Chain A
């Protein structure tokens, strides 16, 4: 799609919003704004990779050998570290992510309120028990 076509679509997009809100504007000013947003994206390509896995243990000495012991199987995967980076770095989650564990207590009884994962006991125990010297170079 050419730049001028993108501009036209964006103008139509804005025009459709103006009916509802006179100050509204579309998601991008023009095609250059769109291209710059794409170039600034932190998402990098994370290609699928695969390897073959075979059973290497003992086989029965008597009787038929199960086919799963002799047939290789495929494992398909993407770089997990990159996937985690993409989730942490996604601007979609910037206000919906916790970096430190917390405990919430509510009411006269001081009841422990569990909400998101970082409000729980497991995360709390992990973080308070990490040895900081593990991370110093």
Chain B
């Protein structure tokens, strides 16, 4: 007999952007976690939250992305 459990998927992003190389390309990181793991694990950075993806930010002539003091270099 198969058994099953409920696995809520938690997705998130924050205003911290990631720039690659010279900083011409900026990305929003998208994080993934699941609701099953305990809060202390999620806070302890033991791969309880993983990076699912990066969304490229289009350079716009009309609306510049907000600059962030906490941006980090990926490479």
Per the CB 8 Å criterion, the residue count for chain A at the interface is 36
Whether, in the assembled complex, A73 has its beta carbon less than 8 Å from a beta carbon of chain B, the answer is: yes
Interface pair A127/B34, CB less than 8 Å apart: no
Question: In the assembly, what is the distance between CA of A127 and CA of B8, in Å?
Answer: 10
Interface pair B36/A118, CB less than 8 Å apart: yes
Whether, in the assembled complex, B53 has its beta carbon less than 8 Å from a beta carbon of chain A, the answer is: yes
Interface pair A73/B58, CB less than 8 Å apart: yes
Interface pair A80/B6, CB less than 8 Å apart: no
Per the CB 8 Å criterion, the residue count for chain B at the interface is 36
Report B's interface with A, CB cutoff 8 A: 4-9, 25, 27, 30, 32-41, 46-48, 50-63
Interface pair A127/B33, CB less than 8 Å apart: no
Interface pair B53/A67, CB less than 8 Å apart: no
Q: Which A residues lie within 8 Å of B52 (CB)? A: 77-78, 80, 83
Please encode chain A, from 65 to 97, with 1 for each CB lying within 8 Å of some chain B CB and 0 for all others.
Answer: 011100101111110100110111010110011
